[in-house]
């Protein structure tokens, strides 16, 4: 019987799952009922290692008491207040703490509820900034092939994943895409590749084609995550920065995955030594416990927008009902405290070399066509068997039976271990993956 004609008593059909093969899931559900530390538990009570930190969002592991208690306390005191024209103290505290972690100069923080909201907010802020400075003609947005900036119309448009775009019209007009940086010359190189910094010159080509004063912003993930951990070549981000500066284009780094320690510094901007104008973040901001995202901008961006607004008038006609939600702010403050007090980003630095070495060692496994990674983000790409992505998905399903939750980006198997994992737990994740690849 097809899913469409099932009786409404079927417990699975009413929940339309996101980015999921729903019909396949109905036949082979992968239910998770509980989690603790770096483990999930299935309906039979069996343990599964969390190889992807949830969706890159729960680096401290599951069930941190301090976060839970901070949220509960906040909910008891103040569960909600309208974020438009009213403020809650925790939001101001969290913004200040985030600003202190950001690269110098990026220090005004706007809250939203998801990475998708953050991406669209960042793009709108860039447009508003140029308009405020009398450059309303700067409306072109530059994204990148194989980029992912969420699913809202702006983020989808600058994103570069065909299946995410093609069912939903053409996206916004006036968008150009840089080429992606996953080039053969860098295959099997862990860390930044030696080749391909000049791919950033695509931006210069768009300037030559459209005119320098027509481009508002260029948005990239420092490391493209959702399309399989594409690490930038050496010098690439610096070159993008130079071209943006030369032509007055705002550079946006989408750090929704890389933000809060994934590469060993608070932000990948710091790891790569390149400071953008705007940074988006989400996920690890609250250790995945309560949805929250943020957009941080240089103060001069905020200043320009403020100055253009009527005195005592609203400066930016933008915001969400759940911007700066008190429970999320409390979760954020508790999370950042743990990062600080437990030296979590230094722990990432100490776990990284062995992790990357182990990912790199998949080079010798038959059918592996590339290995790559940076910080605690690693990918093993396989030669497809059947349709593209089929092999990766089969491994993901098998892994669930063998005690591992991971990501498959097409036929690239992605691991993003929690920072709380021990070296042995990380090795175990990689051992399970190795066997599954050998059997696939």
For residue 213, give every residue at least 6 positions away whose Cβ sits within 8 Å of its Cβ, in sequence order, or none.
135, 137, 138, 248
Which is nearer to ligand PMP, 178 or 207 (by Cβ)? Answer: 178
Name the minimum Å distance from CB 361 to ligand PMP.
Answer: 26
164: β partners: none
User: Which range, of 114-122, 172-180, 266-274, 410-418, touches ligand PMP by CB under 6 A?
Assistant: 114-122
Nearer to ligand PMP, 55 or 183 (CB): 55
- Residue 150 touches ligand PMP, criterion: CB under 6 A: yes
Binding to ligand PMP (CB under 6 A): which residues in 212-231? 221, 225-226
Binders in 47-86 for ligand PMP, by CB under 6 A: 55
The sign of the CA dihedral 89, 69, 290, 101 is positive
Site string for ligand PMP, 7-46 (x = CB under 6 A): ----------------------------------------
CA distance 397 to 440: 11
Q: Which stretches within 162-201 are classed as H helix?
A: 162-166
Check residue 292 for interaction with ligand PMP (CB under 6 A). no
Q: Which stretch binds ligand PMP (CB under 6 A): 103-111, 142-150, 210-218, 316-324?
A: 142-150
Looking from the CA of 181 toward its CB, the CA atoms found within 13 Å total 30
Q: Give the dihedral sign, CA 244/100/280/379.
A: positive
CB-nearer residue toward ligand PMP: 132 or 293? 293
DSSP annotation of 322: T
Least distance in angstroms from the C-beta of 104 to ligand PMP:
23
- Comparison of 48 and 282: residue with beta carbon closer to ligand PMP: 282
Q: Does 149 bind ligand PMP (CB under 6 A)?
A: yes
Question: If binding means CB under 6 A, how many residues of this protein chain bind ligand PMP?
Answer: 15
Contacts of 411 (CB under 8 A, 6+ apart): 381, 382, 383, 384, 388, 389, 390, 391, 392
Give the CB-nearest residue to ligand PMP.
115
Query: Strands 368-374 and 377-382: what pairing?
Result: antiparallel
Decide: is 148 part of the binding site for ligand PMP (CB under 6 A).
Answer: yes
Q: What is the DSSP string of 191-237?
A: SS-SS-GGGGGHHHHHHHHH-GGGEEEEEE-SSB-TTT-BPPPTTHH
Contact with ligand PMP (CB under 6 A) among 42, 52, 114, 271: 114
3-state secondary structure of 396: helix
CA distances from 253 to 218, 243, 327 (A): 9, 15, 26
The CB-of-24 to ligand PMP minimum distance in angstroms stands at 21
Minimum distance from residue 162 beta carbon to ligand PMP (Å): 17
Other Cβ atoms closer than 10 A to 172: 15
For ligand PMP, the closer of residues 114 and 121 by Cβ is 114
* Minimum distance, C-beta of residue 115 to ligand PMP, in the bound complex (Å): 2
> Considering the rule CB under 6 A, would residue 257 count as an interface residue with ligand PMP?
yes
145 contributes a contact to ligand PMP by CB under 6 A? no
The upper half-sphere exposure of residue 22, i.e. CA atoms within 13 Å in the direction of its Cβ, equals 12
Interface with ligand PMP (CB under 6 A)? 55, 114-116, 119, 148-150, 221, 225-226, 254, 256-257, 282
């Amino acid at each position: 019987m097809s899913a469409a004609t099932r009786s409404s008593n079927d417990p699975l059909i009413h929940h339309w799952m996101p980015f999921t093969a729903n019909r396949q899931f109905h036949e082979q559900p992968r239910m998770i009922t509980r989690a603790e530390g770096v483990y999930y538990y299935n309906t039979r009570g069996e343990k599964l290692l969390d190889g992807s930190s949830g969706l890159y969002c729960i680096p401290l592991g599951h069930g941190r008491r301090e976060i839970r208690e901070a949220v509960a306390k906040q909910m008891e005191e103040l569960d909600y207040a309208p974020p438009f024209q009213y403020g809650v103290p925790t939001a101001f505290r969290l913004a200040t703490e985030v600003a202190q972690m950001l690269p110098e100069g990026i220090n005004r923080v706007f809250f939203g509820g998801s990475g998708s909201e953050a991406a669209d907010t960042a793009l709108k802020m860039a447009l508003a900034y140029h308009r405020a400075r009398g450059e309303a003609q700067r409306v072109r947005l530059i994204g990148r092939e194989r980029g992912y900036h969420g699913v809202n119309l702006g983020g989808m448009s600058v994103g570069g994943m065909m299946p995410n775009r093609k069912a939903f019209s053409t996206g916004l007009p006036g968008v150009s895409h840089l080429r992606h940086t996953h080039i053969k010359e860098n295959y099997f190189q862990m860390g930044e590749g030696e080749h391909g910094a000049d791919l950033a010159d695509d931006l210069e080509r768009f300037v030559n084609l459209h005119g320098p004063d027509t481009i508002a912003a260029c948005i990239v993930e420092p490391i493209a995550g959702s399309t399989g951990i594409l690490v930038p070549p050496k010098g690439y981000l610096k070159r993008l920065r130079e071209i943006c500066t030369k032509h007055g284009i705002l550079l946006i780094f989408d750090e929704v995955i890389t933000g809060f320690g994934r590469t060993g510094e608070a932000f990948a901007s710091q790891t790569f030594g390149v400071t953008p104008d705007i940074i988006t973040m989400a996920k690890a901001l609250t250790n995945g416990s309560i949805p929250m995202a943020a957009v941080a901008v240089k103060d001069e961006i905020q200043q320009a927008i403020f100055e253009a607004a009527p005195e005592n008038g609203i400066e930016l006609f933008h915001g969400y009902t759940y911007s700066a939600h008190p429970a999320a702010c409390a979760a954020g403050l508790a999370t950042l405290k743990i990062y600080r007090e437990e030296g979590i980003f230094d722990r990432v630095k100490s776990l990284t070399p062995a992790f990357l070495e182990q990912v790199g060692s998949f080079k010798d496994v038959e059918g592996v066509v590339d290995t790559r990674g940076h910080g605690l983000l690693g990918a093993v790409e396989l030669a497809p068997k059947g349709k593209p992505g089929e092999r990766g998905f089969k491994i993901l399903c098998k892994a669930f039976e063998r005690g591992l939750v991971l990501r498959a980006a097409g036929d690239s198997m992605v691991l993003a271990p929690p920072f709380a994992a021990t070296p042995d737990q990380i090795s175990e994740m990689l051992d399970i993956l190795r066997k599954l690849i050998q059997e696939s």
